[in-house]
Amino acid sequence: MEGPTPVSALIHAATLVVSGVFLIIRCSILFENSESVLMIVSIVGALTSFFAASVGLFQNDLKRVIAYSTCSQLGYMIFISGLSHYSVSMFHLANHAVFKALLFLSAGCVIHGMSDEQDLRKMGGLLHLFPVSSVMILIGSLALVGTPFLTGFYSKDCILELAFAKHGVFGNFCYFLGCSAAFCTSFYSFRLFFLTFVNPTNTYKKYIENAHEAPIGMVFPLIVLGLGAIFYGFLSRDLIIGLGSLYFNSVHTNFYNFNLVDSEFLPSLIKNVPFIFTIVGAFFFFNSYKLF
C-alpha cells in the first residue's frame, strides 16, 4: 500500500490498516463465544508479527522498513486480541498511531530534503543536515522497540507479559514469537537510523549539496508527535487498560480468559525478557555492521 508520505502516515498509523483490529475489538462479544476462533486469531497474529519483522530486516527502502514494522505491530494487536485482552490491543493501537505517524512524517522530511531519494544504501552522514528529523526518527524508533518509559514500552511489554501469563501452549507460542519479533524490530530500527544518519555518506554530491532540513510547517507536527511518543503511553495507560477504566468496561471478556492481574505478579526476569531481546537485537546490528 503505497502513497505520499503524509498519506502513509495516516493510513498506516491511525485509519485504514488498523481498521480490522478495531473491528475485532468492537466485536469482542462474538469472538469470546468461540475458543477455536480465538485460537486461530492468536496464531495468525503471532506469525504475522514475527514474519513481518523478519522481512523488515532485509528492506532497503526507508518507507518500506517502517511499513513492515506496521505489519509486525498489527500482529501484536491481533494476537493479544486472540488472547482476549481487547483493551490492551486498543492501547497498543493508540500508542502505535503516535510513534508510527512520527516515523513516517520524519522519513518524509528526509526524503523531501534528499531530492526524493528513499534507498537507505544511498544515504548516510545526514545527521548534521537533518538535526530535527534525525532526533525525531530516533525518538520514534526507541518508542517502537519498547525502550523503557517511552510510549511503546507500556503497551508492548504489557502484551508480552499477558501472553506469558496465559500459561498455555498458545500463550507461550505468542510470547516466543513476540519476543523474536522484538529482536528483529530492534535490529532493523537501529539499522534504519544508522544507515540514514550515521554511516559515511554514500550518495550523489548534488543530493548532499541540495539537502536541507524541512521548513517549520513540516517540523512542528514532528515535535508534537515526538512529545506524544515520549509521554502519551504513560499518561493514557490507566485510562485504557486500568481496571475499571471506561474502555475496559466497554469490551466483553469472559472471566476465565481474564489474566491482567496475574501478569502483574510475574517474576522480574520474565518481565525483562522482551527488553533483553531488544538489547541483543541492537548488539547484533552493531556487531554485524562493525560499528564497534
DSSP string, 188-216: HHHHHHIIIIISPP-S-HHHHHH--PPPH
- Residues near 33 by beta carbon (within 8 Å), at least 6 away in sequence: none
Count up the domains in the chain and report the number. 1
Note the pLDDT of residue 2: 66
C-alpha to C-alpha distance for 275 and 257, rounded to whole angstroms: 26
> pLDDT class for 1, splitting at 50, 70, 90?
low
C-alpha to C-alpha distance for 248 and 290, rounded to whole angstroms: 47
Kindly tell me if the per-residue pLDDT of 258 is higher than 90: no
Domain that holds residue 111: 5-201+210-288
End-to-end Cα, the chain, rounded Å: 37
> pLDDT class for 124, splitting at 50, 70, 90?
confident
**Among 38-42, 68-72, 238-242, the least confident range:** 238-242
Interval 29-39 mean pLDDT: 92
Interval 215-231 mean pLDDT: 93
Which range of 120-124, 136-140, 165-169 scores highest in mean pLDDT? It is 136-140
Is the full-model pTM beyond 0.95?
Answer: no
> pLDDT class for 200, splitting at 50, 70, 90?
confident
